[in-house]
Amino acid sequence: MSSVPPPVNSEARMFGAEDLITAYSKTTGQDLPVQELPLPSEFAWGTATAAYQVEGGAFRDGKGDSIWDTYSHLEPSRTNGENADVTCNHYELMLEDVDLMSQFDVDVYRFSISWSRIIPLGGRNDPINEKGIAFYDSLINKLIERNIEPVVTLYHWDTPQRIYDRYGAFLNTTEFEADFKHYAHLCFTRFGDRVKKWITFNEPYITSIFAHLNGTLAPGHCREKGTDTKTEPWRVGHTIILSHASVVEMYASTFQPLQKGSISIVLNGHFYEPHDANSQQDIDAAQRRMEFYIGWFGDPVFLGQDYPAAMREYLGDRLPGFSAEERELLRRTCKINAFYGMNHYSTKYARQLTDPPAYDDWTSNVEESAINSEGVEIGPPSAAQWLRVAPEGFRKLLNWVWKRYRLPIIVTENGCPCIGEKDVEVAVNDQFRQRYVGLYLDSISRAINEDGVKVEGWYVWSFLDNYEWAAGYGPRYGIVHIDFDTLKRTPKNSAWYLKRSLKTRRGRSA
């Protein structure tokens, strides 16, 4: 899923590959060559999706409702009048999709399990849906038959609706942690003999802020009566951190010795440059924005520490404290995380504001923008204005994360939408996307070979055009075009480009 659900940039013009070079030079003053720089032979390339965005089958075979099933049917609509009841129908067309991935020579397919498909009501005392489990069994087996590694995300934003109805989901740490741990135990038990890489949560920042502070994502909690956007997003983040740690400890003690798998979490984040490179305030703001965005979760999860000091200082008692028992849990589990899962799309400028902040400000009064104090753009836009082509920022982020956490990095999402892709003929010739992914893979190469950063893999977002959350079916991130009327799959040129490029970069023969 894209890091922030973007609106389609209908005013931006279509960039081809050469146009992108010109646009990048114009906006940044730099050249933009793709050099096809080398990557390690063992470097894994993969595709990624999320259950709600691609599966469809929303009410099939005993599946329960998730918060997205509810949210996408609200009136008036908060999702452009669109829902994912059918979307790509991956639930029925999974075999075709795996065959298609195999044609691209991918090493990995990262997908998520729909919690409410296997435990329809979600709770630890609720019935299990064997038909839902059978679907994921079949998917995993089919992937392995095609020599594609299944990388499984347990939670990609689709809380069972009944859990939210019962106790507010993440707003009740004790209840949610117990239910999530039970769900994870079921997944490890049923699938862990074949799944060797697990992700607990996808992008907890987005769940905390976009679902519980500004209300643009399900469940849109802040729009309900009696909510407190000043404190509740931080409680949500706290619950996610502790639930992650609890599941990591359970996996390590109960399942890992026999199953020999690994586990971690996926954090998203932009890289931030100072709006004014000569302003110490903006330099500090850029660093602080990284800590509020990434350090918020990364420091407790990967370092076993408290939240970053800058967060404690700014937020005060809005930020929950860790008990002695919880601090010990974090210390025990921080080294069990086997990798840092990184979702990244773009870079922004950070400017320190001096006006009084909003009541529920979550940025430490930092403004984000695509243009700096000298009028220089961070890079040309994709089909989403917020998503700019800024490969150097990606390299800097890889270095920032590596230096802070010293864990191997897997880029679990990276990609962009192109303009006009509803038309299959336009979509297939996606030169902009090819240029974007080529540049970002070059940045990974430089980070590995010149900076000494350990990056183990890169997964493109997304395998299929799909339902982009609150943005509906507008932005298309897929390397495969979907006609949502006929469900016909048509590979875009970027799919074949990636097949060729990754083979060349890793020194593999055809």
Give me the active site residues, please. Answer: 203, 413
Characterize the bridge pairing of strands 44-48 and 108-112. Answer: parallel
**87, 55 contact by CB (below 8 A):** yes
Four-residue CA torsion sign, 193, 195, 198, 201: negative
Residue indicated by tokens 């930020």: 319
Q: How open is the CA angle 119-120-125, to the nearest 5 degrees?
A: 55
The three-state secondary structure class of 509 is coil
CA dist 51 and 156 (Å) reads 8
Alpha carbon 415 to chain centroid distance?
11
Burial of 477 (0-12, 13-18, 19+ CB in 10 A): buried
User: What DSSP element (H or E) covers 340?
Assistant: strand 340-343
CA dist 68 and 392 (Å) reads 35
Whole-angstrom CA distances from 104 to 97, 107, 427, 496 are 11, 9, 17, 7
**484, 56 contact by CB (below 8 A):** no
Whole-angstrom CA distances from 97 to 143, 305, 317, 480 are 10, 42, 48, 10
CA dist 34 and 89 (Å) reads 35
CA dist 395 and 280 (Å) reads 23
Q: What residues contact residue 454 under an 8 Å CB cut-off, 6+ apart?
A: 402, 408, 409, 448
What are residue 366's DSSP bridge partners? 352
Largest CA distance in the chain: 61
CA dist 141 and 199 (Å) reads 19
**165, 76 contact by CB (below 8 A):** no
User: What DSSP element (H or E) covers 495?
Assistant: helix 493-505
**269, 291 contact by CB (below 8 A):** no
Which pair of structure tokens corresponds to residue 467? Answer: 């339902």
Whole-angstrom CA distances from 389 to 5, 20, 116, 415 are 17, 9, 37, 10
